[in-house]
Structure 1
Amino acid sequence: MDASDVTVRNDPARQRYELLDGETVIGATHWVPFAGTDGPQRIFYHTTVDDAYGGRGLASVLARRALDDTVDAGLTVVPVCPYIKTWLRKHPGHQEHTAPVRPEHLAAVPHERR
């Protein structure tokens, strides 16, 4: 399996983008909405890919599609998640669509993920 074999979908009810192998969820990047002073934002706070699918660049596929979809929806990305932060450093073209993490962003992240 490679990146062309997976799909990514947003599941707003669960506040996450899901990485799918067929209909099986094999990874996710979790988000929460935030009303920023400069407009609506989406805080990304946790990203995972099942170990069995590791080392194939699938987390990068998930990040790119989730962030592109967020920007296309007119939202600013707030990168709390360490993986998303690292991905953004490697893809500077996305930087203009991000906001710096502030204490109020961290307070908005579900408690179990802080």
Structure 2
Amino acid sequence: MDTTEPQVADNPEASRFEITVDGSLAGFADYRLHGPTISFTHTEIDPAFEGRGLGSTLVRAALDAARDAGLSVLPFCPFVQRYIKRHPDEYLDLVPADRQARFSLDGGEGSE
């Protein structure tokens, strides 16, 4: 079987984005929608798929989908927080300015 690129899709019935590899569920990012805001609460990659960068692929796709939908983001999940902190030029604007300090995204150095 040919290895395909990981696929990320929103599964609104389960309130999560899912990443699959060769048709197998490799991980997910749970969320809650509150009007124009999406709160990411938990991200998990199956141990069998760890070390392939799938968590980053998943979160990038989920944040891109949030942007495309015009949603603001509350990153309660520590992995999502770290991803935004590492890619502020692309994603920091998704977190409301008045909530960035709550998630240690307000420019404070060394707070991870």
TM score, norm. by length of structure 2: 0.80
Distance across 2 between alignment mates of 1:24 and 1:54: 14
Distance across 2 between alignment mates of 1:48 and 1:72: 23
Letter in 2 for 1:7: Q
Report 1 or 2 for greater relative contact order, CA contacts < 8 Å, sequence distance ≥ 6: 1
Spell out structure 1 runs of 4+ moving beyond 4 A.
none
Map of 1:65 onto structure 2: 61
Map of 1:32 onto structure 2: 32
Map of 2:5 onto structure 1: 5
Distance across 1 between alignment mates of 2:66 and 2:22: 23
Map of 1:83 onto structure 2: 79
Distance across 1 between alignment mates of 2:34 and 2:79: 20
- Structure 2 unaligned spans of 5+: 103-112
* From 29, 50, 59, the counterpart of 2:46: 50
| Secondary structure at 1:60 match in 2 | helix
- Structure 1 unaligned spans of 5+: 104-114
Distance across 1 between alignment mates of 2:40 and 2:93: 16
1:23-81 Cα distance to aligned partner (Å, 9 max, x none): 2211000000113xxxx100000000011111111100000000000111010011000
RMSD (Å) for aligned C-alpha atoms: 1.8
Map of 2:94 onto structure 1: 97
Distance across 1 between alignment mates of 2:95 and 2:10: 19
Letter in 2 for 1:42: I
